Chains A and B, each alone.
Chain A
């Protein structure tokens, strides 16, 4: 610690070079923070998925509907505790760019099955159950559009016109739900399936997918097989999987975000290794006579190694911490903007921890070669080079 002042002062030796290097590292970690947060948001559905929930979809694809009669049959499968369904509405608010998820759901079952993630005041739930065109909106979407309980919200469906040909569906906000985990989706717009099924012009008597709550999670694989076997060779065969697998495969329909972010970040960090490594190598090369003087007055090889490494780590820590802090601020500011298509967009502590590991690794890797060079230099030769 006695050397830290000296290490700190050395950073100011070439101010512009140090600032540019720190800025490069900062940008790299800003990118890291945002890309990892984005990747996590895509994967968060799988992370938050309940172990006791299964999802049944049409065997051909998610966009093929299931007959609602499947729901009652699934309820009869041994080990199923409860079952409900949801259907994709595919609408927008006022402008096509105002996209967010809207689901037609069944009564209060949806909330009881998802009570580990979602919370809704009971009076709002009761009000919603009583209002046929009522809707429950996630906090993020309510905040985004400034909606409050009692507001009448017209949504335009890109998929379902009403029987009268009108694509505009009117709803009344009866409740605003919150989530128990900051990464959970608080952007959905939920409304009554009965209203939706009666009013839509086609696809009546069908649902998007079934949500199955099982009595014992250990039995999930067997129950999923039983459900699929139940509808084998029917006109609407099912494909049942755990909610986690369903969420993961749903996310991968967009792209393998995790893989893409890993590739991008690998390239960024490889570049950073070269940039910061070159800076450190140059800094040590310029200072060889000074390092020799330090050794002359009694600093050990190990002390010199530590000082160069400490300098490299300090640059990395300053740049990395600034980058992560900037990412945290930007992610916070972006969260409400991207909530519609990336619910749960929030920088997780795991991103900060991984970032911290990367910061230390970057500092070590960029500093170790110059530090070894400083450690190994011989005083007589180094002073002779002056």
Chain B
């Protein structure tokens, strides 16, 4: 299924499945999932615990590989990439935002944001320019020299967002980005994501348990037991075998 009305596909899953082994028993977390995410989408993924949301996010981010099916992002079959190739691919194509921010506590905000740029050939001056631009975009320029311990939760998440966008990836993957924030701060972060989606044309996939957070997305998908369900719950998208 297509989750967007726009036509330019960025992510395409064809019969994607993921099975883990628990002891000797195989456990299917996702089975024969078909979906397309177009460029510029802002997609919320919802569902109960164990429904496969994070697993799907991991597959989209190249953190894990499907055990079956095809997964293409920006025209590239990432299910066929080796671990090393995936690492390089992630560095330039995906930005990650986590629930607990996952900043390096020993680095200042600007140094945290600079981390992905260390993997590029940019000069120090160029890196500093990119970092300054990213921090300005998230409204944290004046906190550049502060350590994470000196920032509020919302500010930490803004730094994490700046880190995610500093290398200008097409796809932003957010795992419960507001799960650790109060409502007001959460709204600010969600508005920032909306702005990035609207002004920077970032394609965003956000896993959340919070229906109010999902309201900020353009589309909401529900996963249940590895099955994909449309956001209005009218028609369950058939995931074969589930």
Contact = CB atoms under 8 A, between A and B. Distances in A.
Interface of A: 2-3, 5-6, 9-10, 12-13, 289-290, 293-301, 379-380, 383, 386
Nearest to A379: B63
B39 interface: no
A294 B63 CA distance: 12
A293 B96 CA distance: 9
B57 to A, nearest CB: 10
- Secondary structure of the A side of the interface? helix
Interface stretch (B68-76, B100-108, B212-220): B100-108
B91 interface: yes
B118 A290 contact: no
A222 B87 CA distance: 72
A7 to B, nearest CB: 10
B90 A298 contact: yes
A299 B63 CA distance: 12
Query: Interface residues of B: mostly helix, strand, loop or mixed?
Result: helix
A290 B100 CA distance: 12
Contacts of B90: 296-298
A273 to B, nearest CB: 26
A129 to B, nearest CB: 72
B115 interface: yes
Contact of A380 (B58, B116, B163): B58
Interface string B63-88: 11000000000000000000110011
B111 A298 contact: no
Contacts of A6: 104, 106-107, 111, 115, 118
Contact of A297 (B64, B107, B163): B163
A149 B116 CA distance: 72
A3 B111 CA distance: 11
15 contacts: A2-B118, A9-B107, A10-B106, A12-B106, A290-B104, A295-B87, A297-B91, A297-B116, A297-B119, A300-B84, A300-B87, A300-B88, A301-B87, A379-B58, A380-B63
B92 interface: yes
Contacts of A5: 111
Contacts of A293: 98, 102, 104
List the 3 shortest-distance A-B pairs measured between CB atoms, nearest first: A298-B91, A9-B106, A293-B102
Interface of B: 58, 61, 63-64, 83-84, 87-88, 90-92, 96, 98, 100, 102, 104-107, 111, 115-116, 118-119, 163
Given A3-B118, A296-B61, A297-B90, 18 more contacts: A2-B118, A9-B107, A10-B106, A289-B102, A290-B104, A294-B115, A295-B87, A296-B63, A297-B115, A297-B116, A298-B90, A298-B91, A298-B92, A299-B119, A301-B87, A379-B58, A379-B63, A383-B98
Contact of A386 (B84, B88, B100): B100
Contacts of A379: 58, 63-64
A294 B91 CA distance: 10
A380 B54 CA distance: 10
A6 B58 CA distance: 26
Nearest to A384: B54
A179 B64 CA distance: 71
